[in-house]
Structure 1
Amino acid sequence: MSLTLWCPLAMEARAARRGIRGEAKVVCTGMGPDRSRRVEPENGAVAVVGMGGAVVDGIEPGDVVVATEVSADDVVSIGLPQAEAVAKGLSDAGFTVHTGPVASVSKLAVGPRRQELAYKGAVAVDMESAWLLENHRGPAAVVRVVTDTPTRELRTAAAPARIYRALRTIRRLTPVLTREVG
Protein backbone atom coordinates (compact mmCIF):
# COMPACT_ATOMS: atom_id res chain seq x y z
CA MET A 1 0.00 0.00 0.00
CA SER A 2 1.29 3.47 -0.86
CA LEU A 3 1.47 6.15 1.82
CA THR A 4 0.63 9.82 1.41
CA LEU A 5 2.21 12.26 3.85
CA TRP A 6 0.10 15.35 4.45
CA CYS A 7 2.38 18.15 5.62
CA PRO A 8 0.71 21.50 6.35
CA LEU A 9 3.72 23.77 5.84
CA ALA A 10 6.05 23.87 2.83
CA MET A 11 9.10 23.54 5.08
CA GLU A 12 7.60 20.39 6.67
CA ALA A 13 6.88 18.96 3.21
CA ARG A 14 10.47 19.63 2.07
CA ALA A 15 11.84 17.90 5.16
CA ALA A 16 9.56 14.89 4.62
CA ARG A 17 10.53 14.61 0.93
CA ARG A 18 14.20 14.45 1.92
CA GLY A 19 13.50 11.47 4.14
CA ILE A 20 11.14 9.49 1.87
CA ARG A 21 11.98 5.88 1.20
CA GLY A 22 9.90 3.66 -1.06
CA GLU A 23 6.52 4.44 -2.54
CA ALA A 24 5.24 7.46 -0.69
CA LYS A 25 4.19 10.88 -1.79
CA VAL A 26 4.18 14.17 0.06
CA VAL A 27 1.38 16.72 -0.24
CA CYS A 28 1.72 20.23 1.20
CA THR A 29 -1.81 20.84 2.47
CA GLY A 30 -1.56 24.37 3.80
CA MET A 31 -1.99 25.61 7.35
CA GLY A 32 -5.22 25.87 9.30
CA PRO A 33 -8.74 24.49 9.15
CA ASP A 34 -9.86 26.19 5.92
CA ARG A 35 -6.98 24.87 3.83
CA SER A 36 -7.16 21.47 5.52
CA ARG A 37 -10.82 21.04 4.63
CA ARG A 38 -10.01 21.68 0.95
CA VAL A 39 -7.63 18.71 0.71
CA GLU A 40 -9.05 15.87 -1.35
CA PRO A 41 -9.39 12.65 0.68
CA GLU A 42 -6.98 9.88 -0.29
CA ASN A 43 -8.00 6.27 -0.94
CA GLY A 44 -4.96 4.77 0.78
CA ALA A 45 -3.02 5.29 3.96
CA VAL A 46 -2.15 8.81 5.11
CA ALA A 47 0.05 10.27 7.78
CA VAL A 48 -0.27 13.88 8.88
CA VAL A 49 3.28 14.95 9.64
CA GLY A 50 4.51 18.25 10.97
CA MET A 51 5.26 20.39 13.96
CA GLY A 52 3.04 20.84 16.99
CA GLY A 53 3.00 22.08 20.53
CA ALA A 54 2.85 20.16 23.78
CA VAL A 55 0.13 21.18 26.23
CA VAL A 56 1.28 19.04 29.16
CA ASP A 57 4.51 18.86 31.13
CA GLY A 58 6.94 16.04 30.42
CA ILE A 59 7.06 16.49 26.66
CA GLU A 60 10.10 18.42 25.45
CA PRO A 61 10.96 20.29 22.25
CA GLY A 62 12.19 17.71 19.74
CA ASP A 63 10.04 14.89 21.15
CA VAL A 64 7.56 13.16 18.86
CA VAL A 65 3.84 12.90 19.62
CA VAL A 66 1.81 10.18 17.91
CA ALA A 67 -1.89 10.94 18.22
CA THR A 68 -4.19 8.22 19.53
CA GLU A 69 -7.09 10.42 18.46
CA VAL A 70 -7.63 13.91 17.05
CA SER A 71 -10.46 16.34 17.59
CA ALA A 72 -11.42 19.98 17.21
CA ASP A 73 -14.23 22.11 18.56
CA ASP A 74 -16.22 21.39 15.38
CA VAL A 75 -14.96 17.84 14.66
CA VAL A 76 -15.96 14.74 16.61
CA SER A 77 -13.02 12.77 17.97
CA ILE A 78 -11.37 10.55 15.35
CA GLY A 79 -9.64 7.44 16.73
CA LEU A 80 -6.32 6.36 15.26
CA PRO A 81 -5.91 2.63 15.92
CA GLN A 82 -2.44 2.44 14.33
CA ALA A 83 -0.99 4.86 16.89
CA GLU A 84 0.63 2.26 19.14
CA ALA A 85 2.35 0.47 16.23
CA VAL A 86 3.57 3.77 14.78
CA ALA A 87 4.81 4.92 18.20
CA LYS A 88 6.64 1.63 18.76
CA GLY A 89 8.30 1.83 15.35
CA LEU A 90 9.47 5.38 16.02
CA SER A 91 10.61 4.53 19.53
CA ASP A 92 12.52 1.49 18.26
CA ALA A 93 14.21 3.82 15.74
CA GLY A 94 15.52 5.96 18.59
CA PHE A 95 12.97 8.77 18.83
CA THR A 96 11.52 9.97 22.14
CA VAL A 97 7.82 9.29 21.58
CA HIS A 98 4.65 10.17 23.47
CA THR A 99 1.13 9.08 22.62
CA GLY A 100 -2.21 10.64 23.41
CA PRO A 101 -5.00 12.83 22.09
CA VAL A 102 -4.09 15.79 19.88
CA ALA A 103 -6.38 18.82 19.71
CA SER A 104 -6.63 20.81 16.49
CA VAL A 105 -7.16 24.54 16.92
CA SER A 106 -7.69 27.38 14.46
CA LYS A 107 -4.99 29.65 15.93
CA LEU A 108 -1.85 29.16 18.00
CA ALA A 109 -2.62 27.91 21.49
CA VAL A 110 -0.67 29.83 24.11
CA GLY A 111 -0.95 30.43 27.84
CA PRO A 112 -4.39 29.62 29.27
CA ARG A 113 -5.57 28.00 26.02
CA ARG A 114 -2.91 25.29 26.44
CA GLN A 115 -4.12 24.67 29.98
CA GLU A 116 -7.70 24.39 28.77
CA LEU A 117 -6.74 21.80 26.13
CA ALA A 118 -4.71 19.81 28.65
CA TYR A 119 -7.67 19.84 31.03
CA LYS A 120 -9.80 18.37 28.21
CA GLY A 121 -7.29 15.50 27.86
CA ALA A 122 -5.02 16.59 25.02
CA VAL A 123 -1.26 16.08 25.21
CA ALA A 124 -0.46 18.19 22.15
CA VAL A 125 -1.97 20.70 19.77
CA ASP A 126 -1.82 21.35 16.04
CA MET A 127 -3.75 23.41 13.52
CA GLU A 128 -4.80 20.83 10.90
CA SER A 129 -5.07 17.13 11.77
CA ALA A 130 -8.74 16.85 12.76
CA TRP A 131 -9.89 18.73 9.66
CA LEU A 132 -7.57 16.79 7.35
CA LEU A 133 -8.85 13.46 8.66
CA GLU A 134 -12.56 14.22 9.17
CA ASN A 135 -13.46 12.76 5.74
CA HIS A 136 -10.64 10.22 5.37
CA ARG A 137 -11.72 6.59 5.64
CA GLY A 138 -8.46 4.63 5.28
CA PRO A 139 -5.55 3.93 7.63
CA ALA A 140 -4.19 7.11 9.17
CA ALA A 141 -1.58 8.38 11.60
CA VAL A 142 -0.79 11.79 13.05
CA VAL A 143 2.83 12.46 13.96
CA ARG A 144 3.85 15.82 15.36
CA VAL A 145 7.34 16.95 16.37
CA VAL A 146 7.14 19.27 19.36
CA THR A 147 8.51 22.78 18.93
CA ASP A 148 7.01 24.41 22.00
CA THR A 149 5.71 23.53 25.44
CA PRO A 150 3.74 25.27 28.19
CA THR A 151 7.00 26.65 29.64
CA ARG A 152 8.83 27.13 26.33
CA GLU A 153 6.53 28.92 23.92
CA LEU A 154 7.56 29.87 20.38
CA ARG A 155 7.85 33.54 21.23
CA THR A 156 11.45 33.20 22.42
CA ALA A 157 14.85 33.58 20.83
CA ALA A 158 15.20 29.78 20.85
CA ALA A 159 12.24 29.28 18.48
CA PRO A 160 14.25 29.15 15.20
CA ALA A 161 16.58 26.50 16.60
CA ARG A 162 13.63 24.40 17.79
CA ILE A 163 11.95 24.67 14.39
CA TYR A 164 15.17 23.64 12.63
CA ARG A 165 15.52 20.67 14.98
CA ALA A 166 11.90 19.64 14.34
CA LEU A 167 12.45 19.73 10.57
CA ARG A 168 15.53 17.51 10.90
CA THR A 169 13.46 15.11 13.00
CA ILE A 170 10.70 15.04 10.37
CA ARG A 171 13.28 14.11 7.72
CA ARG A 172 14.64 11.32 9.92
CA LEU A 173 11.26 9.85 10.89
CA THR A 174 9.64 9.63 7.44
CA PRO A 175 11.37 6.34 6.52
CA VAL A 176 9.90 4.78 9.66
CA LEU A 177 6.41 6.01 8.73
CA THR A 178 6.61 4.44 5.27
CA ARG A 179 7.18 1.08 6.98
CA GLU A 180 4.65 1.47 9.82
CA VAL A 181 1.72 3.18 8.08
CA GLY A 182 2.20 2.58 4.36
Structure 2
Amino acid sequence: MDVSHSRLLVAAPLRVEVWALRPGLDGCGVMRTGMGSARSQRAARRILEAPAKRVAVAGLCGALTPDLAPGDVVVASSLLGGDECFPTLESGSLRESLAHVGIEARVGPLLSVDHVVRGAERSQLADSGALVVDMESAWLAAGAGGRPLAVLRVVLDAPGREIVRPGVLRDLGIALRRLRSAAPALAAWAAPLQTDRSAALH
Protein backbone atom coordinates (compact mmCIF):
# COMPACT_ATOMS: atom_id res chain seq x y z
CA MET A 1 0.00 0.00 0.00
CA ASP A 2 1.42 3.36 -1.04
CA VAL A 3 -0.66 6.35 0.05
CA SER A 4 2.12 8.87 0.62
CA HIS A 5 1.36 11.00 -2.44
CA SER A 6 -0.99 13.94 -2.05
CA ARG A 7 -2.23 14.41 -5.63
CA LEU A 8 -4.30 11.26 -6.16
CA LEU A 9 -5.11 8.07 -4.29
CA VAL A 10 -6.35 5.18 -6.42
CA ALA A 11 -8.22 2.42 -4.60
CA ALA A 12 -8.04 -0.96 -6.33
CA PRO A 13 -9.65 -4.01 -4.73
CA LEU A 14 -7.41 -6.78 -6.09
CA ARG A 15 -3.66 -7.34 -6.15
CA VAL A 16 -3.75 -8.00 -9.89
CA GLU A 17 -5.51 -4.66 -10.44
CA VAL A 18 -2.84 -2.85 -8.43
CA TRP A 19 -0.19 -4.63 -10.52
CA ALA A 20 -1.84 -3.40 -13.72
CA LEU A 21 -2.35 0.17 -12.54
CA ARG A 22 0.83 1.05 -10.68
CA PRO A 23 3.22 1.52 -13.66
CA GLY A 24 1.00 4.25 -15.12
CA LEU A 25 0.39 6.11 -11.86
CA ASP A 26 3.70 7.86 -11.35
CA GLY A 27 3.39 10.37 -8.53
CA CYS A 28 0.10 8.91 -7.27
CA GLY A 29 -0.76 6.66 -4.36
CA VAL A 30 -2.28 3.21 -4.80
CA MET A 31 -4.16 1.27 -2.11
CA ARG A 32 -5.21 -2.37 -2.39
CA THR A 33 -8.56 -2.47 -0.62
CA GLY A 34 -9.71 -6.09 -0.90
CA MET A 35 -12.77 -7.65 -2.49
CA GLY A 36 -16.34 -7.17 -1.33
CA SER A 37 -18.42 -4.76 0.69
CA ALA A 38 -17.01 -5.49 4.16
CA ARG A 39 -13.38 -4.96 3.14
CA SER A 40 -14.39 -1.90 1.14
CA GLN A 41 -16.10 -0.31 4.13
CA ARG A 42 -12.98 -0.83 6.22
CA ALA A 43 -10.79 0.54 3.43
CA ALA A 44 -13.02 3.60 3.10
CA ARG A 45 -12.00 4.66 6.60
CA ARG A 46 -8.33 4.46 5.59
CA ILE A 47 -9.02 6.39 2.39
CA LEU A 48 -10.77 9.09 4.41
CA GLU A 49 -7.58 9.61 6.44
CA ALA A 50 -5.26 9.67 3.41
CA PRO A 51 -3.83 13.09 2.43
CA ALA A 52 -4.73 12.85 -1.27
CA LYS A 53 -6.56 15.76 -2.89
CA ARG A 54 -8.49 13.46 -5.24
CA VAL A 55 -9.70 9.88 -5.00
CA ALA A 56 -10.33 7.31 -7.71
CA VAL A 57 -11.56 3.74 -7.70
CA ALA A 58 -10.28 1.53 -10.49
CA GLY A 59 -10.44 -2.14 -11.41
CA LEU A 60 -12.45 -4.77 -13.24
CA CYS A 61 -16.22 -5.20 -13.42
CA GLY A 62 -19.05 -7.17 -14.97
CA ALA A 63 -21.23 -5.85 -17.77
CA LEU A 64 -25.00 -5.87 -17.41
CA THR A 65 -25.83 -5.06 -21.02
CA PRO A 66 -24.93 -7.10 -24.13
CA ASP A 67 -23.38 -4.13 -25.93
CA LEU A 68 -20.38 -4.24 -23.58
CA ALA A 69 -17.56 -6.77 -23.95
CA PRO A 70 -14.37 -7.72 -22.09
CA GLY A 71 -11.85 -4.89 -22.33
CA ASP A 72 -14.42 -2.10 -22.64
CA VAL A 73 -13.80 0.85 -20.33
CA VAL A 74 -16.63 2.37 -18.30
CA VAL A 75 -16.46 5.61 -16.33
CA ALA A 76 -19.18 5.81 -13.69
CA SER A 77 -21.51 8.80 -13.88
CA SER A 78 -23.17 7.71 -10.64
CA LEU A 79 -22.97 4.89 -8.11
CA LEU A 80 -25.92 2.77 -7.04
CA GLY A 81 -25.95 0.49 -4.02
CA GLY A 82 -24.28 0.74 -0.64
CA ASP A 83 -25.47 3.06 2.10
CA GLU A 84 -25.19 6.27 0.08
CA CYS A 85 -25.94 7.39 -3.45
CA PHE A 86 -23.29 9.30 -5.36
CA PRO A 87 -25.28 10.86 -8.21
CA THR A 88 -22.56 12.98 -9.78
CA LEU A 89 -18.98 11.84 -10.26
CA GLU A 90 -16.02 13.32 -12.11
CA SER A 91 -16.90 11.46 -15.31
CA GLY A 92 -16.56 14.10 -18.03
CA SER A 93 -12.97 15.16 -17.35
CA LEU A 94 -11.83 11.56 -16.88
CA ARG A 95 -13.45 10.53 -20.15
CA GLU A 96 -11.57 13.38 -21.83
CA SER A 97 -8.28 12.22 -20.30
CA LEU A 98 -8.96 8.70 -21.55
CA ALA A 99 -9.62 10.00 -25.05
CA HIS A 100 -6.19 11.65 -25.00
CA VAL A 101 -4.58 8.22 -24.56
CA GLY A 102 -6.73 6.68 -27.28
CA ILE A 103 -9.36 5.00 -25.11
CA GLU A 104 -13.04 5.52 -25.84
CA ALA A 105 -14.95 5.07 -22.61
CA ARG A 106 -18.64 4.56 -21.97
CA VAL A 107 -20.14 6.75 -19.26
CA GLY A 108 -23.07 5.57 -17.18
CA PRO A 109 -24.30 4.35 -13.79
CA LEU A 110 -22.45 1.62 -11.91
CA LEU A 111 -24.18 -0.73 -9.48
CA SER A 112 -22.36 -2.23 -6.49
CA VAL A 113 -23.69 -5.47 -4.98
CA ASP A 114 -22.50 -7.92 -2.34
CA HIS A 115 -22.14 -11.00 -4.57
CA VAL A 116 -20.89 -12.14 -7.96
CA VAL A 117 -23.56 -11.58 -10.62
CA ARG A 118 -24.18 -14.31 -13.18
CA GLY A 119 -26.66 -15.34 -15.82
CA ALA A 120 -30.19 -13.99 -15.86
CA GLU A 121 -29.53 -11.71 -12.89
CA ARG A 122 -27.58 -9.44 -15.23
CA SER A 123 -30.66 -8.44 -17.19
CA GLN A 124 -32.65 -8.01 -13.97
CA LEU A 125 -30.05 -5.64 -12.55
CA ALA A 126 -29.82 -3.79 -15.85
CA ASP A 127 -33.35 -2.56 -15.12
CA SER A 128 -31.73 -0.25 -12.54
CA GLY A 129 -30.20 1.66 -15.44
CA ALA A 130 -26.66 0.59 -14.55
CA LEU A 131 -24.23 -0.40 -17.30
CA VAL A 132 -21.90 -2.45 -15.12
CA VAL A 133 -21.69 -4.09 -11.71
CA ASP A 134 -18.95 -4.52 -9.13
CA MET A 135 -18.64 -5.43 -5.45
CA GLU A 136 -16.80 -2.41 -4.05
CA SER A 137 -17.15 1.04 -5.61
CA ALA A 138 -20.23 2.32 -3.76
CA TRP A 139 -18.64 1.50 -0.40
CA LEU A 140 -15.17 2.75 -1.28
CA ALA A 141 -16.64 6.04 -2.50
CA ALA A 142 -17.55 6.97 1.06
CA GLY A 143 -13.83 7.43 1.69
CA ALA A 144 -13.67 10.40 -0.67
CA GLY A 145 -15.16 12.59 2.04
CA GLY A 146 -16.19 15.36 -0.34
CA ARG A 147 -13.01 15.27 -2.43
CA PRO A 148 -13.27 14.91 -6.22
CA LEU A 149 -14.06 11.27 -6.99
CA ALA A 150 -13.84 9.23 -10.18
CA VAL A 151 -14.57 5.56 -10.82
CA LEU A 152 -13.05 3.68 -13.75
CA ARG A 153 -13.82 0.05 -14.42
CA VAL A 154 -12.84 -2.33 -17.22
CA VAL A 155 -15.24 -5.09 -18.23
CA LEU A 156 -14.08 -8.65 -17.54
CA ASP A 157 -17.31 -10.64 -17.85
CA ALA A 158 -20.49 -9.92 -19.76
CA PRO A 159 -23.78 -11.51 -20.84
CA GLY A 160 -22.88 -14.79 -22.50
CA ARG A 161 -19.28 -14.55 -21.27
CA GLU A 162 -19.49 -15.52 -17.61
CA ILE A 163 -16.72 -15.25 -15.05
CA VAL A 164 -16.37 -19.06 -14.88
CA ARG A 165 -15.95 -20.35 -18.43
CA PRO A 166 -13.35 -21.43 -20.96
CA GLY A 167 -11.51 -18.41 -22.30
CA VAL A 168 -11.80 -16.30 -19.17
CA LEU A 169 -8.02 -16.15 -18.77
CA ARG A 170 -7.69 -14.68 -22.25
CA ASP A 171 -10.32 -12.06 -21.42
CA LEU A 172 -8.60 -11.36 -18.10
CA GLY A 173 -5.43 -10.56 -20.00
CA ILE A 174 -7.35 -8.25 -22.34
CA ALA A 175 -9.00 -6.45 -19.42
CA LEU A 176 -5.79 -6.02 -17.43
CA ARG A 177 -3.90 -4.65 -20.42
CA ARG A 178 -6.68 -2.13 -20.97
CA LEU A 179 -6.63 -1.20 -17.28
CA ARG A 180 -2.88 -0.64 -17.50
CA SER A 181 -3.26 1.56 -20.57
CA ALA A 182 -5.96 3.62 -18.79
CA ALA A 183 -3.85 4.36 -15.71
CA PRO A 184 -2.04 7.43 -17.15
CA ALA A 185 -5.45 8.99 -17.81
CA LEU A 186 -6.24 8.71 -14.10
CA ALA A 187 -2.99 10.46 -13.24
CA ALA A 188 -3.75 13.18 -15.79
CA TRP A 189 -7.26 13.63 -14.40
CA ALA A 190 -5.71 14.44 -11.05
CA ALA A 191 -3.33 17.07 -12.44
CA PRO A 192 -4.31 20.47 -10.99
CA LEU A 193 -4.16 22.40 -14.28
CA GLN A 194 -5.14 21.51 -17.82
CA THR A 195 -1.58 22.15 -19.00
CA ASP A 196 -0.33 19.72 -16.37
CA ARG A 197 -2.89 17.16 -17.54
CA SER A 198 -1.61 17.40 -21.08
CA ALA A 199 1.97 17.00 -19.90
CA ALA A 200 1.01 13.96 -17.81
CA LEU A 201 -0.26 12.20 -20.91
CA HIS A 202 2.99 12.57 -22.85
TM-score range, shorter chain: over 0.9
What amino acid is aligned across from residue 8 of structure 1 in structure 2? P
Q: CA deviation at 1:18?
A: 1.9
Higher strand share: 1
The corresponding residue for 1:82 is 90
Range with greater deviation from structure 2 (107-116 or 29-38): 107-116
| Residue 122, structure 1, aligned to residue 127, structure 2 | no
Distance in 1 of aligned mates of 2:99 and 2:67: 16
Which of residues 41, 47, 53 in structure 1 aligns to 2:56?
Answer: 47
Q: Cα deviation per residue 1:44-67 (whole Å; 9 max; x = unaligned)?
A: 211101000110121111010000
The corresponding residue for 2:115 is 107
Distance in 1 of aligned mates of 2:88 and 2:169: 31
| Residue 17, structure 1, aligned to residue 17, structure 2 | no
Name stretches of at least 5 consecutive residues in structure 2 with no aligned partner. 1-5, 192-202
The corresponding residue for 1:70 is 79
Report how many aligned residue pairs link the two structures.
180
The corresponding residue for 1:27 is 31
Q: CA deviation at 1:151?
A: 1.8
Distance in 2 of aligned mates of 1:180 and 1:19: 13
Query: Are the counterparts in 1 of residues 110 and 133 from structure 2 also a CA contact under 8 Å?
Result: yes
Q: CA deviation at 1:135?
A: 4.1
Could you say which structure has the larger radius of gyration?
2
Query: Are the counterparts in 2 of residues 63 and 95 from structure 1 also a CA contact under 8 Å?
Result: no
The corresponding residue for 2:197 is none
Q: Give TM-score, length-normalised by structure 1.
A: 0.93
Higher relative contact order (CA 8 A, sep 6+): 1
Q: CA deviation at 1:124?
A: 0.3
Distance in 2 of aligned mates of 1:11 and 1:54: 19
The corresponding residue for 1:156 is 165
Which SS does the other structure have where 1:78 is aligned?
Answer: coil
Over the aligned positions, Cα root-mean-square deviation in angstroms equals 1.5
The corresponding residue for 2:11 is 6
The corresponding residue for 2:175 is 166
Distance in 1 of aligned mates of 2:96 and 2:102: 10
Name stretches of at least 5 consecutive residues in structure 1 with no aligned partner. none
Q: CA deviation at 1:85?
A: 1.3
Query: Are the counterparts in 2 of residues 82 and 181 from structure 1 also a CA contact under 8 Å?
Result: no
Q: CA deviation at 1:77?
A: 1.8
Which SS does the other structure have where 2:139 is aligned?
Answer: helix
